[in-house]
Structure 1
Amino acid sequence: MTHQTDSVDPLRLAFVCVENAGRSQIATAVAETQLRIQDRTDVEIRSGGTDPAGEIYPTVVDVMREKGYDLSTRTPTRISRETLGECDVVALMGCSLLVDDLPAGVVVRDWGFIDPADADVESVWAISTEIEQRVIELLADLPTEAERRTNTHQLQ
């Protein structure tokens, strides 16, 4: 009798915007928290921007702290096309990024969120709440490691 214990590569999920200073940082924090809550170690999160800012928008840091997420030690980073090409799912946060040259099989979600760069606290709260909901829905749609091992669920 053989047991199916073959592990599969982790799913790679990227949250991308231009500056990596607001929307993609919010999405990353939510995803990391949800994955910890769900005890999912089979998903890797990437976050970055095509033209990173010098720091995360202060209003975003403040609002997310109120919601229980600590973004105070995070910094915007650049994400490469190569990194995006290695991902299974790329979630665009509302930026006009060209992803046509990504390899076949990379699932792209274009969410179109409003940029919180110059938004007031109330607006950032609303934007972050919408991002939280979308990230939770996306994670619920991701196949588990067992489903991927048996090919019973496909990414869409």
Structure 2
Amino acid sequence: MAAALFNRQAGGRAWADSAGTRPAERVHPEVVEAMRELGVDLSTAKPQLMTAGLAEGAIRVITMGCADGECPVVKAPVEDWGLPDPAGQPLAMVRTIRDDIDHRVRSLLSSLAI
């Protein structure tokens, strides 16, 4: 959700990728639905594994509750947002998580002057 919201709000001025330490096989249906409500289509998105190579060149890495020792070492500053995993959550909770992420992404873009 964060990368999709970032990319939409950045309007091509910057780009974010999404990855996890234990990526699911697919984006959870509740996440797809919550994002569809905002006009963002994640129905064909594929979760990917977070690697140091993927983060190479990043100016910032945002984690969402990454446990110590699970995240690859990266050169960029790392900021943990400590958000709950939306997996298995009801749609109402996923909406709450989505809205929190949206607010944080807007603040991040502002702090980066993007």
User: Is the 2:55–2:74 contact (alpha carbons within 8 Å) kept by the matching residues of 1?
Assistant: yes
Matched AA of 2:93: S
What's the TM-score, normalizing by structure 1?
Answer: 0.66
Is 2:22 the partner of 1:51?
A: yes
Structure 1 residue 101: deviation in Å? Answer: 3.4
The answer to whether the 8 A contact 2:32-2:41 is kept is yes
Q: Which amino acid aligns with 2:109?
A: L
Is the alpha carbon distance of 1:109 and 1:78 closer, same or farther for their aligned partners in structure 2, counting shifts above 3 Å? same
The letter of the residue matching 1:65 is: R
**Structure 2 Cα separation of the partners of residues 97 and 116 of structure 1:** 20
Structure 2 portions without partners, runs of 5+: none
Mapped partners of 1:97, 1:67: distance in 2: 33
1:31 equivalenced with 2:6 (yes/no): yes
Q: List runs of 5+ in structure 1 lacking aligned partners.
A: 1-25, 145-156
Q: State the identity as a percent.
A: 35
1:12 paired residue number = none
CA RMSD of aligned residues (A): 1.8
Q: For the residues of structure 2 that align with 1:29 and 1:102, how far apart are their CA atoms?
A: 21
Partners of 2:67 and 2:35 lie apart in 1 by 25
Structure with the larger strand share: 1
Q: How many pairs does the alignment contain?
A: 113
Amino acid at match of 1:128: R
Q: TM-score, normalised by structure 2?
A: 0.88
SS at match of 2:86: coil
Deviations along 1:73-108, whole A, 9 cap, x unmatched? 1111112112224311000012215358333xx111
* 2:61 and 2:79 in contact (8 A); partners too: yes
Q: Which of 49, 66, 83 is residue 78 of structure 1 equivalent to?
A: 49
Letter in 2 for 1:31: F
Indicate yes or no: 2:38 matched with 1:67. yes
1:133 aligns with 2:103: yes
